[in-house]
Amino acid sequence: MDSGSVALRSAVLALVVLLSGRAAAAVLLCHYCPLQAAGARCNITTECRGHERCSSGWRRYGRVHVLALQGCASPTLCGSNQTLTHKGLEYEITYTCCCRDLCNTAAAPENLLQQLLGVTVSPPDPPSCSEL
């Protein structure tokens, strides 16, 4: 091999390594917790598929935040309401999505006094995806 073809092979190899590293960096990390009581601990992280976004879902009973879930979702689920079953009962869950690593953090649990006084605060919406 001459020095020109060695340099070309090195350049191609460097480009392949660079592009494969970029693809690996494009993985979106999200919090994951199945449907559970709002305020329950959630310490699981998951990687979403290429087209998926981080999502948060919740259900309120009146003004009280009672159920929550976190994970990855298809863009078609973002901004929608879906019916899910939890402990034998059906609940309509509202979904929001975001596109940054770990952006679907659950809201802090509300305390009983706030709930009794009716001054509960809705969980903040996570940052939305610019491509939506």
The full set of domains in the chain, from first to last, is 28-117 (2.10.60.10)
Give the pLDDT confidence of 27-84 residue by residue, as tens digits.
999 999 988 888 888 889 999 998 999 999 988 877 787 889 999 999 999 999 999 8
**In the chain, % of residues over pLDDT 70:** 61
CB–CB of 17/25 below 8 Å? no
User: What pLDDT was estimated at residue 105?
Assistant: 82
Q: In whole angstroms, what is the distance from residue 112 CA to residue 82 CA?
A: 28
Q: What is the mean pLDDT of residues 75-103?
A: 91
Average confidence score pLDDT of the chain: 74
